[in-house]
Structure formats: C-alpha cells, structure tokens
C-alpha cells in the first residue's frame, strides 16, 4: 500500500458520475427511451451517389421514394457542397436534382431519407398504362420463344397474380430459353412486356431491403403486378411474392434510378440504419426533429453511423472477456480473440459462424500437424497456415454456393490472420499439453465468444449502446474496477476447494 | 449461493492466495518489469548465477542459429548424458533429457530412442521459437545432466525431482518438491499429474502431499511413504534460494533447485510468476506467510542467515 488508491477510486467515481449523468440527461432532455420497445421505428436511409465529373456543367437526377404503404416519409436531407438542389415531381415520380456549373474529379452526393414505419398506413397506387412492346410482334426467335412461355403460363393461371407466378416458374423451368432471352434484355423486362401483352398491368420496381447497420446495400429489381386496384410484388428470380415488412420501394414509376449529365462512372449505394425514435418524436414532423442529435454519433452520415453501431458494441464484448477471465477464471486462447469471433458471428449468423469456426480450426489443425513435420521456421509456418485458411474458406464458400447455401459465403468475414494464430497456438498446445488442454482453451474461447455474441446481439444492449454514449464511460469504470479486483476467481474456488475444507481448526487463527 | 459464499469464506480463512491477488498485490507490486528478462532467459540467469557463485549445471554449449544445429552431434560426442533446453522457454516446455544407450543411440528419459535427425529437428524447433514466450527466435542451451542425490532419487519414478521455493522479499515462505511419476509421463508439472509434496521451511520434512489435487500418502509408483521424505542439506537449500532472490532483485520469486550428488544444491531455473499449486501441495495458504514478511520493516537489510532464521522460526 505504498501509493494511495484514492485518486484511482476518484477516477472510477468520476467516470461513473459523468457516464450515468450523460445517460440520464440524454434520456431526460432528448426523450430517448430506455427500452427499444417504447419507440417508433424510423429507418434512416442514405443514398450515396458517386461519379467522376468531367469538368463541365453537371446535372444529376436521382429517383427518390415518397410516402408509401407501411412507410411514411418524415424527413429528407442532402449533403452536396456547392451544388444546387431541387426536389422535382414529374409524372408522379419524385426526383432529387443536383446541378453545378463546373466540377472535376470524384464527386460524392448524399441524399438521406427518414421513413417512419406505420403498419396501418395504406397508399393506393394506380396501375400503369399498358404499353405495347413492339419487340413481341417481331418475327424474331426471341419473340417466338417468349410468347411460347407466356402461352404455357396462361394455361395454368387463373388471374393476374397467378399468371405472374406461373410466368416466373416457366422462366425457371425452361432455363435454356430463359438464358437465350436474357441475351437481349433482362428477365424482368421480358416479364413486364409479356404481362402487358396479356393485358395485365405490371411494372419493374427497384426495392431496397432494410437491414439495420447495412452499408453499401444495393437495389433489387422486382415485378409489381396489379389486379383490381391492388398490387403484389414478385421476385423475378425466385417467384416469391408479396412485400416483406422490411422492403421499401425506392423507384416505382418506371423511370431511371439515376440520370447523369457531365460525368461518368456513376454508382449509387445505400446505407441503412434503424433509428429508435420516441413516439412523440416520430409523429412530430416539424423542423426541430433532429435537435436531439446534438453532440452524438447521430450527427454523422448514415454510413458512418452504421459502422459505429457495431464499434460501440465492442466495449460490451471486451467487458465480457474481462468478466470471464477475472471473475470466472476461464482460459481462452488469445485474450481478445473471443471478441473478434463474436463480431464475426454477428456478421455470419450464429450457426454458420460456429460450424465454420470449428470446421476451419479443425481442418487447420490437421494441416498444421503436417507442416510441423517439415521443420519450417515459425514465420513461414504461420504464413503457410494463413494461406491454407484462406484456401479453405474459399473452398467452403464455393461448395456452399454450389449447394445453394448462400450462408457459406459469409465465412469470408472471419479474421483470417487471427484464425491462423489460433490454429498455431492450439497446435503447440496440443503437442505440449495434449488434446485436453486444446479443448479446454478452445471451448473457453468459444464459450466467451458465444456469451459476447448473445449480449452484443441483444436488442436492449444495441439500443442502449447506440443511443447513450455516456454508457461508454460506465464500461470504462467497470473495466477499471474489475482490473483491481483481488478476490478469488470462480473456478479457483473449485481448484482450491481441498484447501478450504478439512482440518481447519488446527490452522492459523 | 450460500455454498459459494461459505467456500470463499473458508479460502479466506485459510489465507489462500488467488490468481488476481497474486498478479495485482504481489507480482506487479514487487517485481519490476525490467527485471523479468533476467529470469525469462535461462542463459542470462545462468550467467547471473555463475557471477553470484551459485552452483548450476555445467553448460556444455549454446546453439544460436539453424546453421549450427548440425554441429550438435560433434558437441555431444563425448557425453553420456545431457539436457537440451530452450533459453526462453517457460513451464518446462521443450526440455529434452537424453542419455546415451549402450549402442550409442540417444535415449529420452522415458526410454524412447531418438535419432540424430530427431534431435536436429528438436533443436531447429527451439531455434524457431516454438517453445519461447510469444514465439520469438530462441537459443538452445545444452547442459550436463544433474545426478540426483540418492536420498531423493528413490522417490521419483523418472526424471530428477526438483524443489520449488517461493521467496518473498528475499525470505523463503513456502516449499514443495515435485516428483515425476508414471501418470505424468516423467514430467514434474503438477497439472500433468506429478506428485507435489509440501515441505516445512522449518526442517525440510514433508508435511502434505497431493496428486491431481487429491491428498496422497504414498508415491503411486514406488509405494514409498511420502511422510518420511525429508530434504538433505536443507539449510544450504534455503540459503541458495535467498541468494537467488538477491541476485535478481525480484521481490516475489519462484526458485527451482535440485540436490546434485556431487555439486550439492544447484539452481535449475527461476520464475517471476510462480504458480499457486504450491498451496495445494502444502495444504496451506500463502497469504498469512506473505503478510508476516510484509510486516518486516526492511528485509533487504537482513543477512541471508537472518532471513533463513526468520523463515525457519515462522513457517
């Protein structure tokens, strides 16, 4: 006890007071609810338009969505330094139009939209006029083949919706004809034209799948088919119909997504984030709605926010590791490896991640045991393991894809170098201490990763860490407290239990 | 829940030192970071010991790079027995004990034959850092094999039994001897199944013995009564331990000693983060002893004899 511990405890106290104070303040003054249930769901969607300007006047026109069934547009913003901006409406379609007299080099324009989820909201949509596609009246082999498909589908259908469904099935069954047709124009375009030919109003729409924390999402083309004032959406690939609750129509007036004059190599990508907005806030559509941003992550662009939503969860995972090691006494291979595995699990989904991890480490150990016979130098050996791991991941991804399991592709999200070190460490452990120790440490790592994953994916935890920055100070205080804990670890109680019991009356006073 | 609390209370009462407290209250407080390399590198330790006049096993040679691995055969031609060690190894990893058989072949301590190629592979692995902390490139130490005093050798199934002393601020506070047995494959690590026998600091006589954390009274292989075990030249062993603490300057230190037939007490290796199983072998907690040493005003000013006398009177 040479140095006083008082400043240390004062620091912990300060962190706790500041952290809890900030958290409470944010709840009070900004009306952010404690629990995710007490909010209205608002999706913030950011479209990022990238292009290279040629040094001449530039005009950019981006299709933007309006209030639609289930989604109410409550706010929109755009960031585009130097550009003039106007929201225009033509043929019932909303577009954002940027313009500038002169621009050179890489340009980035942002358009951000807040959509309030309202399940009771219904916006009726009118059917598009039937267009005559001249291509179908040609006497080309394409037209013949397409009309043949239509007639087969017509036979098996009863109404507009079933016709669309059967047509998609026809395209999937007759894959040769379908790929022949695809040389000319995309499948969805053919389907739209065929439906119009059969007097069924339909159009291609661009759909965005809303998923919290996604970056660089792109649009998918769906088929919208009308029948007596109602419509349904069809996925032209799978034939799945209906709009799921997290699909937003981005462009649905048969226009183009992006028109660009004066530039090239344009690209539109979308970032999405699930904002938790209190009931009072969500309904209040006035201009002060984003005053609650203040000093917080929420003032960043959506793409960065989505990134931070993940980063802010890392302290929670780290806290789990500290807790498990200091209080429980679990042994893990590599101190913070479990957190990285947990983060990978979040990206891959649990079952894929878990089986992928076991598969890669298992096969990796076999490969490593062969490498150990080659008498390689350490750095070369690890490098060989890294390359093998990458080869394995690629192989598994290809196999999974061929089997129709898109989940397998997500394995690439594992941190390869860390996996390789894990394999190396476990392999040495195996040689030195036997398989038991490998399972103890491997199991310990997985257990910690699992607990970290479960906590990090918890709705309440995600809500709290993202909305209350003050909690980070609280985490810091907790880590400091745990770091100075001198008591027994839980597993030590078992290890030393022979010492606690027995002839205690003989011992020291 | 209450069972857990009772367990904690029991351990507290017995003064059992836990990992967290060891790290915070003893290792990080009494062991300066800059002194760690002295004990983490066995070559440095050896040099230090020789300078301080502490007896150590004879150093036959050091192999520093892959190129010299092939010269090992030449170096070892004259030797009937020897021991290979990674200089930066920990926890006994990578240590190879070799005797030469009648036909000139290398025999490991567990009786398995080893070819020259096997030996070279092991040397190469050590050099590559397979056994060192953090995988850093390493050196190979080749040492003469110690011959254990027959009074102790009879208790060990294979391998040389070594004595572990914990020294706190230069005062020996607890001791145990580790006996290899068939279940531990000739290794002297407690978690691998070796027998740990707690030794009284007062007189060097066995007080308690465990195998796999369970109390035992007789050696599982030789059947000898462990209660009769005592360490010859006990006074010298304690003094040697004190000297080791003085030469490193580490406040909380584990010292591994061997009693050699010819050399007498000799230093095997030092450890700046000694494990806690010594408490299980002794059936007693370390904390009361550490606290009574902490109560001494200035142990650094005490002579070795005074510290040994203090320890023998107390523990």
Farthest CA pair distance, chain A: 107
The pLDDT tens digits for A376-403 are: 777 788 889 889 988 988 888 888 777 7
In chain B, whose CA is at the least distance from the CA of A374? B121
Question: Tell me: the pLDDT tens digits for A450-495?
Answer: 999 999 999 889 888 888 888 999 999 999 999 889 889 998 888 8
Helix (H) or strand (E) holding A339: helix A337-348
SS3 A107: strand
Element (H, E) at A115: strand A93-117
Residues pairing with B63 in the sheet: B140
**Coil, helix or strand at residue A135:** helix
**Using CA of residue A387, residue A388, residue A394, residue A397, what is the dihedral sign?**
negative
Determine the longest span between alpha carbons in chain B, in angstroms: 65
Q: How far is CA A296 from CA A14, A308, A469, in A?
A: 20, 11, 7
Contact residues, A window 311-330, toward B, CB-based 8 Å cutoff: 326, 329
The two beta strands, B252-260 and B162-168, are antiparallel
Per residue, the 3-state secondary structure of A46-84, as one string, reads: EEEEEEEEEEEEEEEEEECCCCECCEEEEEEEEECCCCE
Cα A365 from chain centroid (whole Å): 31
Distance from CA of A498 to the nearest CA of B (A): 7
Name the range with the highest mean pLDDT among A495-504, B9-18, B60-69: B9-18
The answer to whether A333 and A442 have CB atoms below 8 angstroms apart is: yes
Specify which residues A41 forms β-bridges with.
A276
Is residue B8 a contact partner of residue A487, using CB atoms and an 8 Å limit? Answer: yes
DSSP string, B177-214: EEE--GGGTT---GGGT-EEEEE-TTT-BEEEEEETTE
Task: Give the pLDDT confidence score for residue B160 in this predicted structure.
Answer: 80
Distance CA A343, CA A312 (A): 12
B7–A486 C-beta distance less than 8 A: no
Q: Would you call B24 and A329 a contact, using CB atoms and an 8 Å cutoff?
A: no
Q: What is the pLDDT of residue A436?
A: 82
Residues of B with CB under 8 A from a CB of A: 4, 7-8, 10-11, 13-16, 18-21, 24-25, 29, 66, 93, 121, 124-125, 128-131, 135, 137, 192, 210, 213-215, 276, 279-280, 283-285, 288
Among residues 475-494 of chain A, which lie with CB inside 8 Å of chain B? Answer: 484-489, 492-493
A238-296 tens-digit pLDDT: 777 776 778 888 888 777 888 888 888 888 888 888 876 665 454 444 334 444 444 56
- What one-character-per-residue DSSP string does chain B give? -HHHHHHHHHHHHHTPPPHHHIIIIIIHHHS-GGGHHHHHSHHHHHHHHHHTT-----EEEEE-SGGGGGGHHHHHTT-SEEEEEETTB-TTTT-EEEEE-TTS-EEETTS-EE-HHHHHHHHHHHHHTSSBGGG----EEEEEPP-B-HHHHTT-SSS--EEEEEEETTEEEEEEEEE--GGGTT---GGGT-EEEEE-TTT-BEEEEEETTEE-SB-TTT--BGGG-B-TTHHHHHHHHHHHHHHH--SEEEEEEEEETTTEEEEEEEESS--SHHHHHHTS-SHHHHHHHHTSS-GGGS-HHHHHHHHHHH-
Does the beta-carbon distance from A507 to B7 stay under 8 Å? Answer: no
Contact between chains at A487 and B20 (C-beta distance less than 8 A) = yes
**Facing residue for A492 by CB, picked from B19, B125, B128:** B19
Q: Are B144 and B85 in contact (CB under 8 A)?
A: no
Per-residue pLDDT, B134 = 65
In whole angstroms, what is the distance from residue B304 CA to residue B310 CA?
Answer: 10
Q: How many CB atoms lie within 10 A of CB B203?
A: 12
Torsion of CA A164, A166, A167, A171, to 10 degrees: 140
pLDDT of residue A209: 87
User: Which residue of A437, A486, A490, A494 is the best one to mutate when testing the B interface, meaning the one whose CB has the most B CBs within 10 A?
Assistant: A486
For the segment A8-15, the average pLDDT, to the nearest whole number, is 92
Q: Chain A: give the shortest CA distance to residue B280, in Å.
A: 6
Nearest CA in chain B to A377: B128
Looking at the partner chain, which of B24, B137, B276 has a beta carbon nearest the beta carbon of A486? B24
Q: Is the pLDDT of residue A74 over 90?
A: no
Q: What is the pLDDT of residue B227?
A: 87
A351 Cα distance to chain centroid: 17
Q: Does the predicted interface ipTM exceed a cut of 0.90?
A: no
Helix (H) or strand (E) segment spanning residue A105:
strand A93-117
B10 neighbourhood in chain A, CB within 8 Å? 500-501, 504
Q: What percent of chain B has pLDDT over 70?
A: 98
Assess contact for A272 and A217: CB atoms under 8 A: yes
Tens of pLDDT, residues A169-210: 888 888 788 888 888 788 888 888 888 888 888 888 888 888
The whole-number pLDDT of residue A304 equals 79
Q: Is pLDDT at B40 greater than 80 in this prediction?
A: yes
pLDDT in tens, B111-159: 778 888 888 888 888 888 778 766 678 899 999 888 888 888 888 877 7
Residue A39 binned pLDDT confidence (cut-offs 50, 70, 90): low
A508 lies within 8 A of chain B by CB: yes
Strand, coil or helix: what is A224? Answer: strand
The alpha carbon of residue A496 is apart from the nearest alpha carbon of chain B, in Å, by 7
Residue A470 phi/psi, 5-degree rounding, is -55, -25
Helix (H, G, I), strand (E, B) or coil at A253: coil
Confidence at B285, pLDDT banded by 50, 70, 90: very high
Strands (E), A149-219: 202-209, 214-217
Q: Is A428 on the interface with B (CB under 8 A)?
A: yes
What would the pLDDT profile of B150-204 be if each residue is shown by its tens digit? 888 888 877 788 899 999 999 999 999 999 888 777 677 787 788 999 999 999 9
Helix (H) or strand (E) holding A44, with range, is: strand A39-63
CA A310-A315-A317 angle, 5° bins: 85
Count of pairs with CB atoms under 8 A, one residue in A, one in B:
85
pLDDT for A284:
44
Give the pLDDT mean for B54-65.
89
Name, in order, each residue with C-beta under 8 angstroms of A347's C-beta and a sequence gap of 6 or more: A353, A410, A413
Q: Could B18 and A487 be called an inter-chain contact, meaning their C-beta atoms sit closer than 8 Å?
A: yes
Q: Which residues of chain A lie closer than 8 angstroms to B125, CB-CB?
A: 375
d(CA A391, CA A385): 10
**Do the chains contact at B18 and A486, CB–CB below 8 Å?**
yes
Q: Comparing B75-84, B167-176, B266-275, which segment has the lowest mean pLDDT? A: B75-84
Whether chain B has a CB inside 8 Å of the CB on A495: the answer is yes
C-beta separation of A64 from A96 below 8 A: yes
CA distance A382 to chain B (A): 11
Q: Are A54 and A262 in contact (CB under 8 A)?
A: yes
Nearest-CB residue to B11 (from A329, A432, A488): A488
**Run of H or E including A17:** helix A6-30
> Does the pLDDT at position A307 exceed 70?
yes
Q: How far apart are the first and last CA of chain A?
A: 24
Interstrand relation of B140-144 and B81-86 (parallel, antiparallel or unpaired): antiparallel
Decide which of A13 and A348 is more confident. A13
* Residue whose C-alpha is closest to residue A255's, from A58, A91, A45: A91
Residues of A in contact with B124 (CB under 8 A): 375
Judged against a pLDDT cut of 70, whether residue A145 lies above it is answered with yes
Strands B106-108 and B96-100, sheet pairing: antiparallel
Contacts with A481 from chain B: Cβ below 8 Å: none
CA dihedral B70, B74, B78, B82 (to 10 degrees): -20
Q: Are A187 and A236 in contact (CB under 8 A)?
A: yes
Q: Please, are residues B123 and B83 in contact by the beta-carbon 8 Å criterion?
A: no
**CA of B121 to nearest chain A CA: how many angstroms apart?**
6
Q: What is the pLDDT of residues A324-344, one digit of tens each?
A: 999 998 888 777 888 888 888
Task: Give the best-scoring range by mean pLDDT among A211-215, B109-113, B217-221, B275-279.
Answer: B275-279
CA closest to A432 among chain B residues: B93
Give contacts of A480 with chain B, Cβ < 8 Å: none
**How far is Cα B95 from Cα B99, in angstroms, rounded to an integer?**
13
Quick one: closest CA in B to A499, which residue?
Answer: B283
Residues of A in contact with B65 (CB under 8 A): none
pTM: 0.71
Closest to A112 in 3D by CA, of A307, A263, A273, A249: A273
pLDDT over 90 (residue B234): yes
| Separation of alpha carbons B245 and B259, rounded Å | 18
How many residues in chain A? 509
Question: CA torsion, points A301, A306, A312, A316, in degrees to nearest 10?
Answer: 170
d(CA A353, CA A344): 7
pLDDT value, residue A293? 40
Residue (of A480, A479, A327) closest to A5 by Cα position: A480
B192/A498 Cβ within 8 A: no
Contacts of A358 (CB under 8 A, 6+ apart): none
Specify whether the CB–CB gap between A65 and A250 falls below 8 A: yes
Q: Determine the distance in angstroms separating the CA of A247 from the nearest CA of chain B, rounded to an integer.
A: 49
């Amino acid at each position: 006890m040479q140095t006083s511990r008082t400043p240390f405890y004062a620091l912990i106290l300060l962190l706790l007071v500041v952290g809890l104070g900030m958290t409470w303040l944010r709840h009070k003054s900004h009306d952010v609810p404690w629990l995710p249930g007490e909010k209205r769901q608002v999706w913030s969607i950011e479209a990022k338009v990238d292009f290279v300007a040629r040094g001449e006047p530039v005009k950019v026109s981006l299709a933007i969505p309006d209030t639609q069934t289930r989604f109410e547009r409550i706010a929109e913003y755009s960031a585009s330094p130097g550009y003039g901006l106007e929201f225009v409406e033509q043929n019932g379609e909303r577009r954002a139009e940027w313009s500038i007299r002169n621009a050179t080099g890489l340009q980035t324009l942002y358009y951000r939209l807040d959509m309030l989820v309202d399940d009771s909201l219904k916006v009726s949509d009118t059917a598009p006029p039937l267009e005559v596609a001249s291509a179908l009246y040609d006497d080309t082999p394409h037209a013949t083949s397409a009309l043949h498909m239509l007639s087969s589908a017509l036979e098996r259908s009863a109404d507009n919706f079933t016709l669309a469904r059967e047509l998609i099935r026809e395209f999937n069954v007759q894959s040769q004809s379908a790929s022949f047709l695809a040389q000319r124009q995309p499948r969805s375009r053919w389907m739209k034209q065929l439906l119009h030919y059969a007097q069924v109003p339909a159009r291609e729409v661009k759909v965005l799948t809303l998923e919290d924390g996604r970056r660089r999402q792109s649009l998918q083309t769906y088929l919208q088919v009308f029948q007596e004032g109602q419509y349904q959406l069809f996925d032209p690939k799978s034939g799945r119909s209906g709009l799921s609750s997290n699909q937003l129509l981005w462009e649905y007036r048969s226009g183009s997504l992006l028109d660009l004059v004066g530039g090239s190599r344009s690209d539109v990508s979308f970032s999405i984030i699930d904002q938790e907005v209190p009931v009072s806030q969500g309904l209040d559509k006035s201009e002060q709605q984003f005053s609650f941003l203040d000093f917080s992550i929420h003032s960043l662009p959506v793409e960065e926010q989505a990134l931070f939503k993940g980063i802010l969860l890392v302290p929670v995972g780290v806290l789990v590791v500290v807790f498990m090691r200091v209080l429980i006494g679990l042994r893990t291979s590599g101190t913070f490896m479990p957190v990285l595995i947990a983060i990978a699990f979040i990206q891959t989904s649990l079952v894929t991640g878990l089986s992928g991890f076991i598969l890669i480490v298992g096969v990796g150990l076999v490969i490593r045991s062969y490498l150990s016979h080659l008498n390689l130098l350490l750095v070369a050996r690890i490098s060989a393991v890294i390359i093998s791991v990458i080869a394995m991941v690629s192989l598994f991804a290809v196999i999974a894809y061929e089997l129709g399991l898109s989940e397998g592709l997500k394995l690439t999200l594992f941190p390869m170098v860390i996996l390789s070190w894990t394999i190396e460490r476990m392999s040495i452990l195996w040689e030195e201490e036997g398989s038991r120790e490998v399972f103890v440490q491997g199991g310990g790592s997985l257990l910690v990763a699992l607990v970290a994953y479960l906590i990090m994916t918890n709705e309440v935890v995600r809500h709290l860490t993202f909305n209350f920055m003050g909690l980070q100070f609280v985490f810091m205080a907790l880590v400091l407290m745990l770091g100075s804990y001198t008591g027994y670890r839980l597993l030590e109680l078992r290890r030393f239990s022979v010492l606690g019991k027995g002839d205690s009356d003989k011992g020291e006073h | 829940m209450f069972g857990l609390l009772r367990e904690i209370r029991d351990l507290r009462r017995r003064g059992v030192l836990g990992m967290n407290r060891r790290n915070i209250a003893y290792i990080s407080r009494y062991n300066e970071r800059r002194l760690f390399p002295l004990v983490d590198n066995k070559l440095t330790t050896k040099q230090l010991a020789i300078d301080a006049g502490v007896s150590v096993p004879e150093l036959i040679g050091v192999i520093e790079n892959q190129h010299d691995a092939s010269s090992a055969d030449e170096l070892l031609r004259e030797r009937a027995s020897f021991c290979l060690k990674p200089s930066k190894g920990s926890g006994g990893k990578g240590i190879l004990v070799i005797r030469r058989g009648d036909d000139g072949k290398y025999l490991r301590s567990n009786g398995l034959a080893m070819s020259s190629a096997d030996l070279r592979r092991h040397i190469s692995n050590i050099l590559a850092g397979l056994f060192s902390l953090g995988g850093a490139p390493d050196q190979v130490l080749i040492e003469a094999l110690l011959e254990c005093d027959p009074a102790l050798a009879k208790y060990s199934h294979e391998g040389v039994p070594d004595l572990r002393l914990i020294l706190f601020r230069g005062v020996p506070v607890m001791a145990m001897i580790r006996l290899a047995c068939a279940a531990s494959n000739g290794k002297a690590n407690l978690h691998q199944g070796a027998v740990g026998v707690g030794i009284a600091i007062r007189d060097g006589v066995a007080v308690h013995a465990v195998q796999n954390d369970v109390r035992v009274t007789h050696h599982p292989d030789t059947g000898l009564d462990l209660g009769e075990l005592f360490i010859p030249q006990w006074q010298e062993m304690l003094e040697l331990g004190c000297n080791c603490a003085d030469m490193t300057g580490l406040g909380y230190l584990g010292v591994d000693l061997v009693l050699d037939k010819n050399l007498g007490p000799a230093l095997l290796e030092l450890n700046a983060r000694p494990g806690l199983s010594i408490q299980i072998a002794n059936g007693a907690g370390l904390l009361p002893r550490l606290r009574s040493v902490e109560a001494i005003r200035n142990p650094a000013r005490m002579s070795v004899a005074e510290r040994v006398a203090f320890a023998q009177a107390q523990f």
